[in-house]
Structure 1
Amino acid sequence: MKQKIIEIIRKSLDVLGERSGVPLSVDIEIEIPRDEGMGDLATTVAMRLAKPLRQSPRKIAEDIAGVIHDLAPQFIENVEIAGPGFINFRLRKEFLYESLKQLLGEGHSLIRTDIGNGQKIQVEFVSANPTGPLHIGHGRGAAVGNALCNILQAAGYEVQREFYINDAGLQVQLLGRSVFARYQQLLGNDVPFPQDGYQGDYIETIAAEMRQDEGDTYAGRSFDECGDFCTAYAYKMMLSAVTKDLEDFGVVFDAWQSEKDLHSAGKVKEALDVLESKGFIYKKDDAVWFHSTKFGDDKDRVVIKQDGDYTYFASDIAYHKDKLDRGFESIIDIWGADHHGYIPRIRSVLEAFDLPGERFRVILIQMVSLLRHGVPVQMSKRAGTFITL
């Protein structure tokens, strides 16, 4: 592209030389302006000609720009004069798009290098709870994460895309309860909907499909009797829908890590046992705590609640340890900006495990804001207020 600009400048100098009877010969240098507002490319050729022509560089720049305008090259949108005589070029977007398509079509690699040298990197992104469809906020994370993976792969890294499934908490069971209630209602049974259940239309869709598949097999039964089946059915349907939405969006994950599987494999308990052996776990107020303040966190964190259940943080401790144990030299998490306070907690965990902190990185993306009649609207799966991907 720079060569095309140089050629059009040379043509304009030839025209000006013929008009004045003075041959214009000068080295032409093209640079990219630091300020995007100054255009795509720029040259100081007018300043180089000021002394031999005994004219102001701005006047020379205006003459050059006038000739270029007359030549009307298809790839230039406009030519602007700035300051004492800078000539700034703005290129036509259509030309850039077509040039890029042509390069890619011919098999050119624009950024492919080997600086990664096969280093194994894992990027974890999206990782939405499997309790509802993906919304446009997840789309932002998917786009950023997949683009980053593409760039890393082009730079010679061995990249794994991973989706972390938060399926160990009460939210998945609440999904099952919501589908159970709608299923029973479709069969004419007066079953109250959970007060904090998921209200979206997708719950009725899953319930209708369950009725089509299972008929009235579970009619009149209590959730205690068939809750496991309802929850598993709804979970499978949601995960399938999430996978399809991502594939339609152009994102295919290499690995799907279940939080529930971490627990069943004993990895959460194992991770906490290691921390306890190092003296970083203690009991207080009938709960179990991680001594994260020893590593710069603002307060210690509960890992096992008073009722004996593990916290989400306990799962995250095991998950991040497991990722590095799998042999990745670097792990990158892409989180929403509302999770910025979580970064020191995970760093404190890695430090407690004697794992280098530089192996863990977080990229924060801003939240998607929705307005209705100029008023911000909060997206919520439980309330059924969201815009799907």
Structure 2
Amino acid sequence: MRIRYLLAFIHILIGFAAPVTAFGQTDTTDMQAGRQLIVGVHPQPPYIIKGDNGSWDGISVRLWRDVAEDMEITYRFVEITPDSASKVLLQEEVDVFLLGDVTEEADKQVDFSHIYHTAQMGAALSQTNNLSSIAKSFFSKRFWYIAAMLSVLLLIVGTIIYFVERKQNEDNFGGDRSVAEGIGSGFWWAGVTMTTIGYGDKAPITFWGRAIALVWMLIAMAVTAVLTASLVSAVMGSAAKKISVPQDLRNMKIAAVVGSGAAKYMREERVSFQEFSDLTESLEAIKKQKLDAVLHSVPALRYTISSDPDLSLQVQPVQIDPTYYAFALAPDSPLREPINLALLRVIKTPLWQQELQRFIPEKQ
């Protein structure tokens, strides 16, 4: 009798557990056994790249393929425009848009997955190691400030050695020379001693003169190292000076791609700029010296420049709000949570970092 009651109790428990298990598996089962998902894409290298044969590749495409494989779902790509992404998602014509730009305005209309990449804004510029850039740097305030400080130092040392040597070393510092001429001789001696050239045309002969010379040689070694680094930085680094936005942009011939975040930013800041429909075309304008810079996302700039050996340009990040990319979905989409879980699993793998390095070179 007791065995019958026990079996009946177990049967009741199984009856309650079955619906609970089925309820917990509903979303996953529907996606695995349901219809083929429609995934919206739009060419935007290096995230979404359209091949000549109509195939799709890029960072976002490869990430989605890994996510879909993890979720065990089928899908097909449909090309749409970024402007229509919200509309087609709301009308359920598309299930997912791969390159959703996460903004406050967009978040009010659609849902987003976890952010999978952050694109910093940058400026593409011509390489700075050319003669004109170096020549311009010689007229920078920093260069002349360093030169003036060095001259003052040499003048001080030269004056000291003149007054110490002038009476006993008439051939080099005293004699018929005026005070100005004597100090000039000391200035010359301090300069050639500091640079270790040492012509030998002038040299101290007194005890205190030689003692000062020895101390000056030791000090000059450190001074030379510091000043050399400062002068090289002033000459070679002035052209590579970080761009201050939006101030520096107003003094540059600059361009942006139509509809880009850079174009929106410059309109808001009332910066005069040219618009191009194609990023490569705008970069070629820099090469032809028709532009000073192109403002765009760093990943897109680096990918485009590295893909074209004729574009010898550098990319410099600028302090503008970055762009955040995520998968865009319809509001309250049942796909959001499963996609987020799969997304977290995929981006933790070394393969994801390899894909980023492949499409986005570290430096340009």
The TM tier, using the shorter chain, reads: under 0.3
TM-score scaled by length of structure 2: 0.27
Structure 1-normalised TM-score? 0.26
Which structure has more relative contact order (CA 8 Å, sep 6+)? It is 2
Larger radius of gyration: 2
